[in-house]
Structures are given as structure tokens and as C-alpha cells.
């Protein structure tokens, strides 16, 4: 947005007649939020306390909307440095704000790779300049993602890295992963696994099943994911280090994680919106907008993932936002790169699929979209309690809309939901002392009134 002045940032803002959902307090009620100078002064049921309503305060009638903690995404690709044609930290974080996010964690597979403190600082600086959301860099497990030599983890953590991953290039060497996990116990950050046995997924471009057989596309079997997760869970058992498992896509993977949690291991895991709403059948038209890694699995896997989000086996929803240029994606399916964007559609897709059609409570969805940062990466806890930072998002759960490429803040247009109708939309995002994103003209009118 960048529309607010320094004066706006400090000023008192009162959001009224809004449905407030704060999973950290079990709160879901018609209420208010008052904030000033980047802090929440009051948030709860009923009207704002009379003593906080000052004449100069900006009052926003948000009736019909939902107010929730700012969303946090533990898995995005902003491509900067090195691949700015796909996305930049500025465009990626603008997309995050438009999607209701106040915190995102970026994967280190940039050019150069985020394996030095300098690279971490570059990302933090660029994010601060852009100012759309807080960006938390994830460092590389191995130098250059080459899977050979460990990065200087403590140096990276001091610079601001919140975790380590070789996302996209799994650590094939079990010995290296063991030592990295062992080391991470003195760092207080998790090792993050991109679970893929490359010898099993080699050449594959979609889920291995009836559809890959029919389409004549090489398949990626379940075992490419599960064999790797099983290894990393055993390394977690061996080292006692915290393990986070990325983009879980299948029923069998969920079962492995469920058992690890039952065993008391410090394992967390995420899944992505596309796995909850789409399946391998969506690849039937050879449209590369449905190509990502891990691949879209089956309806049965979809059901298992939703169940796992309900029962806590999966800790959060992360988009794996992976922008590519139109040129790169405009190729035959087998030749196009893996990856889809997701920040600007995540809430809509998850609300439509999980709440509207799936029977999940809105409160649980908000917890899954906002709770990951704290639980997994040690970021500040998403909360609307008095004294907490005034990071929140306003949602319209009734609005039905159709994503169009030209409306995205992201440079990416590789979105599976283009042209598909979705119910639920982010209206505004508030970061610290000001709005980082505002969509609705209605909100502006209310604010003026």
C-alpha cells in the first residue's frame, strides 16, 4: 500500500462491530479492536471501552467482516537475489500482504544461495525497504545446496535466519542431515526437510497413478516422499533435534508424522492449499499450472490431509508460493518447471474448501494459517491480546470472487485457481502501526465516516 503517512502510523484506530477470532484465547465473538502506535490496546467482545474512544481516533465500521491475527507462512519463495524475473522481495511481500500475511519465511534456494550472513542481511534489508510484511529468511543446510558441506549455522542465526532447509534439493546424504540436526540443538531453530528421494522421483512430473499412466507422464510415487520422511523421523529420534517436514502431500506421509508425534518426537509439519483442493485429475489437460513438487495426489490423500489438519497431526498451512515467469510455464507439461503461486489465494482456497465445504471451524483455519510461525520457527506468537503488536487481517467470508492474473501483486501468474470461483477474501491487512494492504472501498468509506 504505502499510502499511510507517519502520522497515520502512530494514530489510534478503532475497528468496530467486527467478528473477532483469536485462536490464542479461544475468542470468537462480535467485538472490537483498538490499536495505537503499533500495539493493540484492547481487543475483545462487545464495543470498544468508552475511555479508549478519543475524538481524533480513526473509527472503522467492519460489520460483516472477520478480524483475525495476521497470517504467517513458513514456506515461500521470493526468488531474490538472482531470479528477479520470477519475483522480488518487494513484489512477493506485497502479495503476502494482499493475502493477509504479516510474516513469511523465505526458502534459501536463490542465486546466490542463502548460506552466508550477508545473504540473510540482504533479504532482511530488502524486506524492510519494501515494508509490506516481515520476511524471515531460512538458511541453507548445505553450502550452495550442494548437499556436501554444512553452512555456518550460528552465524546465519545471528544474522536473522529462523531455520535451515535445502528446499528443492533434499539432503540426500543421511550422515550430513544427522550431523546438521545434531548441531541444530544448540541453535534453537529447526532443520526443515524437503522430503524427496530423488532416485525415486527421478524424471517424474506428476503423481504416479492412474492419471500418469493414462496421460503418458512419468510418475512420482508416494514412496519418494514417505521413504525420506521415515529417514528424517528416525534422525529426529536419534538426535532429539527439532524437525519440520515441508509440503506433506499424502495419506501415508500423514501416518508417519502422526506416529512420530505419538512417540513424542519434536516433529512439526505443513501442507499446502493446493493439496487440499486439487488432485492429480486436474492434470488431465496437461496444464502446467497444476504442476508442482511434490505433485497433486488423489482425493483420498486430500481427505487424509484435511483430517490431519483437524486433529493437529499437521501444524499449519504453508503456501510453498513458487512464482515462475510466463515464458517458463508456457511449455508442454513435462518440460515446464514445478511450482505454483499461493499467497494471494491461500485464504480463499482454504476457506472455500475447508470451512465452506469441509466443515472446519473458521477459528481452526485461522489458527492453521497464523500459528505456524511461532510454533515452528519461533516467531512472535500470533495473538490479538492487549499489548501484542497490531498485526491483523480483515476477512470477508461471504464474498465470492474469481482470481485473475492481472490482479495479482505477485509477478507470478502460475496460479491453479485462475478463473475458478472462490468464496472468502482478504479485505485488509494491518502490520504494526498501519495498513499494509486495503482492498475494499467500503472500508475506506467507513474509515472516513
Partner 1 sequence: MLRNKDLLDLESLTAAEIKLILDTAEAFLAVMRRPVPKVPILRDKTIVNLFFESSTRTRISFELAEKRLSADIVNFSAATSSLSKGETLKDTVDNILAMRADMVVMRHSASGAARYLADRIPAGVVNAGDGMHEHPTQGLLDMLTMRQRMGTLQGKRVVIVGDIMHSRVARSNIWGLTKMGAKVTVCGPPPMIPVQMEEMGCTVDYDLRHAIEGADAINVLRIQLERQTVQTFPGNREYARLYRLDDEMLAATKPSCFVLHPGPMNRDVEITSEVADGRRQVILDQVTNGVAVRMAVIYLLSGGAPENLGENLN
Size of the site for partner 1 (CB under 8 A): 23
**Minimum distance from residue 109 beta carbon to partner 1 (Å):** 24
Residue 209 within binding range of partner 1, rule CB under 8 A: yes
Question: Nearer Cβ to partner 1, position 35 or 217?
Answer: 217
Residue 218 within binding range of partner 1, rule CB under 8 A: yes
Binding part of the chain for partner 1, among 212-220, 235-243, 366-374, 438-446 by CB under 8 A, reads 212-220
Binding part of the chain for partner 1, among 117-125, 215-223, 268-276, 437-445 by CB under 8 A, reads 215-223
In the residue annotation, 320 being an active-site residue is answered as yes
Among 210, 238, 240, 421, binds partner 1 (CB under 8 A): 210
Residues of span 295-354 touching partner 1 by CB under 8 A:
327, 330-335
**Minimum distance from residue 285 beta carbon to partner 1 (Å):** 7
Region of 357 (left: φ > 0; alpha: ψ -120 to 50; beta: rest) is alpha
Task: Assess contact for 245 and 228: CB atoms under 8 A.
Answer: no
Residues of span 239-298 touching partner 1 by CB under 8 A:
285-286
Task: Assess contact for 204 and 181: CB atoms under 8 A.
Answer: no
Catalytic site residue from 197, 277, 280, 320? 320
Residue 212 within binding range of partner 1, rule CB under 8 A: yes
CA angle 351, 86, 288 (to 5 degrees): 60
**Minimum distance from residue 199 beta carbon to partner 1 (Å):** 9
Question: Nearer Cβ to partner 1, position 111 or 213?
Answer: 213
Among 96, 217, 365, 376, binds partner 1 (CB under 8 A): 217
Residue 55 within binding range of partner 1, rule CB under 8 A: no
**Minimum distance from residue 223 beta carbon to partner 1 (Å):** 12
C-alpha distances in Å from residue 276, one per residue of 152, 241, 299, 378, 392: 36, 29, 9, 26, 24
Q: Would you name the residues annotated as active-site residues? A: 320
Residue ranges in contact with partner 1 by CB under 8 A: 202-203, 208-210, 212-219, 221, 285-286, 327, 330-335
Amino acid at each position: 500500500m504505502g499510502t499511510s503517512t507517519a502520522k497515520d502510523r502512530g494514530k489510534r484506530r478503532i475497528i468496530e462491530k467486527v467478528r473477532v477470532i483469536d485462536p490464542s484465547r479461544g475468542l470468537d465473538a462480535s467485538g472490537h479492536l483498538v490499536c495505537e502506535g503499533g500495539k493493540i490496546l484492547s481487543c475483545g467482545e462487545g464495543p470498544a471501552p468508552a475511555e479508549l474512544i478519543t475524538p481524533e481516533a480513526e473509527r472503522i465500521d467492519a460489520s460483516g467482516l472477520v478480524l483475525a491475527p495476521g497470517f504467517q507462512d513458513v514456506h515461500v519463495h521470493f526468488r531474490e537475489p538472482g531470479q528477479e524475473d520470477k519475483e522480488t522481495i518487494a513484489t512477493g511481500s506485497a502479495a503476502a500482504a494482499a493475502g493477509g500475511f504479516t510474516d513469511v519465511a523465505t526458502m534459501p534456494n536463490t542465486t546466490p544461495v542463502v548460506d552466508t550472513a550477508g545473504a540473510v542481511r540482504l533479504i532482511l534489508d530488502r524486506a524492510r525497504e519494501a515494508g509490506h510484511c516481515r520476511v524471515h529468511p531460512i538458511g541453507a543446510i548445505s553450502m550452495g545446496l550442494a548437499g556436501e558441506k554444512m553452512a555456518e549455522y550460528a552465524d546465519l542465526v545471528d544474522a536473522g535466519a529462523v531455520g535451515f532447509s535445502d528446499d528443492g534439493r533434499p539432503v540426500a546424504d543421511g550422515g550430513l542431515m544427522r550431523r546438521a540436526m545434531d548441531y541444530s540443538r544448540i541453535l534453537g531453530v529447526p532443520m526443515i526437510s524437503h522430503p524427496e528421494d530423488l532416485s525415486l522421483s527421478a524424471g517424474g512430473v506428476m503423481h504416479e497413478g492412474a492419471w500418469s499412466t493414462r496421460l503418458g507422464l512419468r510418475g512420482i510415487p508416494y514412496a519418494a516422499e514417505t521413504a525420506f520422511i521415515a529417514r528424517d523421523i528416525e534422525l529426529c529420534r536419534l538426535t532429539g533435534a527439532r524437525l519440520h517436514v515441508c509440503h506433506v502431500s499424502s495419506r501415508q506421509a500423514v501416518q508417519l508424522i502422526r506416529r512420530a508425534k505419538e512417540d513424542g518426537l519434536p516433529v512439526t509439519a505443513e501442507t499446502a492449499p493446493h493439496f487440499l483442493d486439487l488432485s492429480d485429475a486436474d492434470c488431465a489437460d496437461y496444464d502446467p499450472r497444476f504442476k508442482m513438487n511434490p505433485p497433486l495426489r488423489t482425493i483420498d490423500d486430500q481427505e487424509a490431509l484435511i483430517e490431519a489438519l483437524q486433529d493437529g497431526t499437521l501444524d499449519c498451512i504453508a503456501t510453498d508460493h513458487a512464482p515462475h515467469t510466463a515464458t517458463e510455464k508456457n511449455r508442454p507439461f513435462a518440460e515446464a518447471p514445478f511450482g505454483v503461486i499461493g499467497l494471494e489465494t491461500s485464504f480463499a482456497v482454504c476457506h472455500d474448501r475447508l470451512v465452506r465445504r469441509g466443515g472446519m471451524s473458521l477459528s481452526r483455519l485461522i489458527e492453521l494459517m497464523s500459528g505456524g510461525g511461532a510454533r515452528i520457527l519461533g516467531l512472535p506468537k500470533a495473538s490479538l491480546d492487549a499489548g501484542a503488536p497490531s498485526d491483523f487481517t480483515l476477512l470477508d467470508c461471504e464474498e465470492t470472487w474469481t482470481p485473475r492474473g492481472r490482479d495479482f501483486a505477485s509477478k507470478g501468474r502460475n496460479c491453479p485457481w485462475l478463473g475458478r470461483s472462490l468464496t472468502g477474501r482478504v479485505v485488509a491487512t494491518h502490520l504494526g502501526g498501519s495498513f499494509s494492504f486495503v482492498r475494499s472501498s467500503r472500508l475506506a468509506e467507513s474509515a472516513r465516516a
